Amino acid sequence: MMAFPQLRHPFTTSALHPPGSTSVLYQGKTLTLSTTGADDELLIRAEDLTRINGFEVKAEGVCLGDLCIPLQDTFNVTLADQNWFNLSAFARFIGQPFVADTQNRVWSFAEIPAKRESTLSAAMAPEFELTDRKGAVIRMSDFKGKKALIVTWSSW
């Protein structure tokens, strides 16, 4: 079946990230974290949370705009006198699916259901941020005041 292996895998093998690092994929972006805790859960420094998904740890909870998730005991982990935020526990709590290749330390997070439902259920276009072919960042919200046709296609 693999008639076009050069197309299927045209890339030369390269390191996924520096040794000991972890890659986190979310909303089309890849973030490399230089320090994480254990391998079977994704433990990050609290300050990295905002860089990953925009949430921020506050006294009232883990918040993104008006959405605040009450802090849970499972979110905070202390290992070797180091405090960590358990992002995988947080994702499970808010029902955010993810797929992890723990052996290679790569975690891929899906969209957060609560965020999706708040827009699509109201028939509002979801916000996104993608880079166009000119290198410009394109956001759905850039087009308020204009009509937009969003159309997908493919070379296949």
Q: In the complex, which residues of this chain contact other proteins (CB under 8 A)? A: 1-4, 7-16, 23, 25, 27-28, 30, 95-99, 101, 104, 106, 108-111, 113, 116, 120-121, 123-126, 128, 130-133, 138, 140-141, 143-156
How many whole angstroms separate alpha carbon 18 and alpha carbon 88?
A: 22
In the DSSP assignment, the letter for residue 13 is P
- Please identify, using beta-carbon distances, which residue of 78 and 141 lies nearer to other proteins: 141
Which residues are registered as beta bridge partners of 101? 106
- In the complex, least distance from residue 79 CB atom to other proteins, rounded to whole angstroms: 26
Instruction: Give, in order, the Cα–Cα distances in Å from 32 to each of 16, 18, 72, 85, 143.
Output: 9, 9, 26, 16, 31
- Please identify, using beta-carbon distances, which residue of 16 and 71 lies nearer to other proteins: 16
- Please identify, using beta-carbon distances, which residue of 78 and 155 lies nearer to other proteins: 155
- In the complex, least distance from residue 34 CB atom to other proteins, rounded to whole angstroms: 18
- In the complex, least distance from residue 17 CB atom to other proteins, rounded to whole angstroms: 9
- Please identify, using beta-carbon distances, which residue of 38 and 99 lies nearer to other proteins: 99
- Please identify, using beta-carbon distances, which residue of 78 and 135 lies nearer to other proteins: 135
- In the complex, least distance from residue 113 CB atom to other proteins, rounded to whole angstroms: 7
Which residues are registered as beta bridge partners of 138? 130
> CB under 8 Å, gap of 24 or more: what pairs does 73-82 form?
77/37, 77/41, 77/43, 79/37, 79/38, 79/43, 82/37
